[in-house]
Structure 1
Amino acid sequence: MDVLSDALAAMKTGRPHSSLTVKSAPWGIRFPASDGAGFHVVLRGSAWLLRPGVAPPVRLGPGDVVFLAHGYGHGLADHPDTPLLDAELEPDGSWPALPAPGPASDDQTQLLCGAYQLSRFRAHPLLTDLPPLVHVPARVGTLPRLRAAVDLLGAELAEPLPGTGSVVPALLDTLLVYLLRAWWLEDAPKELAGQTRWADALRDPAVTAALEAIHGSPAHPWTVEELGARAGLSRAALARRFTSLVGRPPLAYLTWWRMTGAGRLLRDTQIPLHSVAELSGYTSEFAFAKAFKREYGVPPGQYRRAEGRTG
């Protein structure tokens, strides 16, 4: 798997949710803070995204997409001064599925909204480094794959057919990838001065080669020299460039990613500890347990029990 796919797989839990609705002015919705992430697309009309006391209102026009990666509370309304009513969420935290709307008139706003369930523990910086709000404005001729995913998702929600229950989650996962691509590969450089530069890392062939080697074979006993050979750089040159763009040295990132994967295996599977150690790149279960405790603060067996699994 590539780095972005791995990062999303490490964080996603449960099934994503979405809804399609039409609003007539005046209208205002307040979405509470959550552990997940959410997006909104204005399919027709206009809306204001509101974060009172945090940031100025953002006007959204037809085709605009906004992504809120960190689950902060926010509002949507026809006007910044319109009072907001709390959204009533389902028991699983998803937004309620409203009846499929008919065609929107000129004075109505048609919205496509969605939510992702994410684990914040040991979250990958590809998501944690995102700003509170990613705004992807509609621009003619840009991001055709993102626009196509939005169109397909809207069509499935507007006219459910046999198989829609399978199609919608797949389209939501696809949309999330395109949203992150739009940010990291299009808009991030001018926004992230002074921070770790994952946008540059994903566009840097040498660093990308090293990252893909680590993610492709995390159990391999990588050395900086070997990763440098994959990247076409000397050991010292790769170490400097990798650390500058990723935010930590190559082998430190390797250890972090191994331990992230080990935590997922302990939480989500019942495979023996020696197998978890081997899959995490350790030939000794003792060495693995020592490294795991250094990262998590508890031994792997205790971590598994705390997560409701048996070893």
Structure 2
Amino acid sequence: MDLLSDAIAAVRIGRPTSNRLRAGDEWCYRFAPYEGAGFHVLLRGSGWLIGPGGSPVPLSAGDAVLVPHGGEHTLSSRPDGTGALPFEAAVADPAGRTEFLCGKYRLSRARRHPVLATLPEVLHIPARIGSHPELRAAIDLLGGELAANRPGSATVLAGLLDLLLVYLLRAWLAENPGPGWPEALRDPAIAAALEALHANPEAQWRSEDLASRVGLSRATLNRRFTTLTGYPPMAYLTWWRLTTAARLLRDTELPLPSIAAKVGYGSPFAFSHAFKREFGVAPGGYRLEPRREHPGSRRGPAPDQPAKLHRM
């Protein structure tokens, strides 16, 4: 199992969208807050991103930006955002020397995995020769599809946008070996423990069984797992089981007993009790309103205050 894919699948609530725009010498566009993540790729020219914290970041051709928490931000030809127009009001300039891709992923905040919740407000991924070739290939393919109207384009675009999100996150995780989730995914034993829990959430795990599986003592596993993820292993398992159950309630018509069994609960009653404690609503009610934010839900360990911008 792939933790990053699981983390994305758990929060996806709609299809991504994207646009390709060419702009003239002077341009300034504002992106309002939204439930999801946004991305920008500068194909030609140069510009600035003014993030939620207000600090301008220079962008060059080939640079990519991910706004993982959907915060308000501005793209501009100058390092200030005064007079910004809503992006929806942008008018393309066919002769413009600046061209960029912009898009959105609809992601729920209610079920956000901590590997995503602890990301900074803005990830800036500069273009570097020979760096992250799979990301560059996805950008080239996406730009080409948006520039042409060819048969099957809708299917191709959906797949390329999914690839782009994964490659953007991979690029950031690969170049940020700091403490927390980036380190957890690099630690062979902790990564193996996470993989085991994600692959078989229905198994009747015990800490000693998981520790034996990854070659650590129980005490060492608990200490390292908790330090890096913010959860003891069994608490993380409970949280992941219920997060998985929320996705199954949203995306399938499986009856409650089947969902309970798939996430390791011996009875629908025990499952319903645990689910309501976590999300503040019974499973049946959650299924009727699958996209509502639930104030009672725990969204992963409380992160440190993220930096407003992270340059790579």
Partner of 1:92: none
On the 8 A contact 1:15/1:117 being kept in 2, the answer is: yes
Offset of residue 285 of structure 1: 1.8
Q: 1:303, 1:165 → 2: CA distance?
A: 31
1:140 and 2:123 correspond:
no
Alignment of 1:129-168 (within 5 A): 129-168=118-157
1:194-227 Cα distance to aligned partner (Å, 9 max, x none):
xxx1000010110010000011111111111121
**Which residue, out of 162, 178, 184, partners 1:173?**
162
**Which residue, out of 232, 235, 238, partners 1:255?**
238
Offset of residue 188 of structure 1: 5.2
Partner of 2:26: 26
Instruction: Structure 2: give runs of 5+ residues left out of the alignment.
Output: 292-312
Q: Does the residue aligned with 2:222 lie in a helix, a strand or coil?
A: helix
Q: Bigger CA drift: 197-206 or 220-229?
A: 220-229
1:97-152 Cα distance to aligned partner (Å, 9 max, x none):
x88x86x66xx111111110111102101111110100001111111111111111
Q: 1:295, 1:128 → 2: CA distance?
A: 17
Q: 2:286, 2:153 → 1: CA distance?
A: 38
Partner of 2:260: 277
Q: Does the residue aligned with 2:124 lie in a helix, a strand or coil?
A: strand
Q: Does the residue aligned with 2:49 lie in a helix, a strand or coil?
A: strand
Q: 1:158, 1:188 → 2: CA distance?
A: 36
Q: 2:277, 2:212 → 1: CA distance?
A: 30
Q: 1:263, 1:141 → 2: CA distance?
A: 40
Offset of residue 269 of structure 1: 2.4
Q: Bigger CA drift: 80-89 or 9-18?
A: 80-89
Q: Bigger CA drift: 198-207 or 291-300?
A: 291-300
> Which amino acid in structure 2 is aligned with residue 18 of structure 1?
S
Q: 1:241, 1:34 → 2: CA distance?
A: 35
Structure showing greater relative contact order (alpha-carbon pairs closer than 8 Å, 6 or more residues apart): 2
Offset of residue 85 of structure 1: 0.8
Partner of 1:44: 44
Q: Does the residue aligned with 2:168 lie in a helix, a strand or coil?
A: helix
On the 8 A contact 2:51/2:122 being kept in 1, the answer is: no
**Which residue, out of 124, 132, 147, partners 2:113?**
124
Partner of 2:229: 246
1:14 and 2:3 correspond:
no
Q: What TM-score do the two structures reach when normalised by structure 1?
A: 0.88
Q: What TM-score do the two structures reach when normalised by structure 2?
A: 0.88
On the 8 A contact 1:25/1:78 being kept in 2, the answer is: yes
> Which amino acid in structure 1 is aligned with residue 13 of structure 2?
T
**Which residue, out of 175, 191, 212, partners 2:195?**
212
> Which amino acid in structure 2 is aligned with residue 124 of structure 1?
H
Q: 1:254, 1:205 → 2: CA distance?
A: 18
User: What is the alpha-carbon root mean square deviation over aligned residues?
Assistant: 1.9
Q: 1:224, 1:160 → 2: CA distance?
A: 54
Share of identical aligned residues, percent? 55
Q: 1:115, 1:88 → 2: CA distance?
A: 13
Runs of 4+ in structure 1 off by over 3 angstroms are 305-308
1:60-105 Cα distance to aligned partner (Å, 9 max, x none):
001111100111111111112462111228xxxxxx9x88x86x66
Offset of residue 30 of structure 1: 0.8
Partner of 1:302: 285
Q: Does the residue aligned with 2:22 lie in a helix, a strand or coil?
A: strand
Instruction: Structure 1: give runs of 5+ residues left out of the alignment.
Output: 90-95
Q: 2:25, 2:130 → 1: CA distance?
A: 30
Q: Does the residue aligned with 1:171 lie in a helix, a strand or coil?
A: helix
On the 8 A contact 1:185/1:203 being kept in 2, the answer is: no
> Which amino acid in structure 2 is aligned with residue 77 of structure 1?
S
Q: Does the residue aligned with 1:63 lie in a helix, a strand or coil?
A: coil
1:284-305 Cα distance to aligned partner (Å, 9 max, x none):
2222122112212233233334
Partner of 2:209: 226
Q: Does the residue aligned with 1:59 lie in a helix, a strand or coil?
A: strand
Partner of 2:310: none
Q: 1:250, 1:266 → 2: CA distance?
A: 24
> Which amino acid in structure 2 is aligned with residue 59 of structure 1?
P
